[in-house]
Amino acid sequence: MASEQELNQFLASVEKRAFKRSYYHVRDEDAALDIVQDSMMKLAEHYGDKPVDELPMLFQRILSNTTLDWFRRQKVRNAVFTNMGDIEAAAGGEDGDFDLLEALDVEDTGTEAAETQVSRTQVLAQIEGEIEKLPGRQREAFLLRYWEELDVAETAAAMGCSEGSVKTHCSRAVAALSKALLARGITL
């Protein structure tokens, strides 16, 4: 059973990654923060008594479900308020306040040349821009597999689909990213 301290440590360790994942999905900083906060509260309220090793999978599933709920609410809201364009604009999250490079949390070693740091930052920004362009399910599978480092079975459980679907989504995401990055002259 997870103690309160272990639960707090777990939540602190996943906070930034969960925010970035949510932001990639909803493209709205405020909504992403709400989704992560709601997911953390649900985990603490309903599953805080689970063993520590079960928390990562539970949290990933809760985060996925909370994100899907957000999209469902947006769909209903947009259907009800179709004549109110300002609500749709707010749901789109195109306010430009979110700085992706600040959220990246790249370590500054101080020994790296400024040119190398700028170059790396630019490449990472381009990579993240291409990740944002992926279709939703491909982006979710890619982030769970390669960002969260879940295996295929864990990703399938978090996404609520088959392992074959995860493999297909990941394969398509990697192919699309590879093609887009090669077109920009980026080789990894």
**What architecture does CATH give domain 113-188?**
Orthogonal Bundle (1.10)
Percentage above 90 pLDDT, the chain = 39
Could you tell me the CA-to-CA distances from 91 to 29, 32, 34, 82, 134 in Å, in that order?
10, 11, 13, 12, 19
User: What integer is the mean pLDDT of 7-13?
Assistant: 92
User: How many angstroms separate the CA atoms of 155 and 82, rounded?
Assistant: 35
Of residues 92, 30, 90, 42, the one with CA closest to residue 66: 42
Where does the chain hold its CATH 1.10.10.10 domain(s)? 113-188
Residue 94 has pLDDT above 80, yes or no: no
Give CA–CA dist 182/123, Å, rounded.
12
Average pLDDT taken over every residue of the chain: 81
* pLDDT category of residue 89 using cuts at 50, 70 and 90: very low
Task: Output 81 or 88, whichever has higher pLDDT.
Answer: 81
Structure tokens belonging to residue 13:
């360790």
For residue 84, what pLDDT is reported? 36
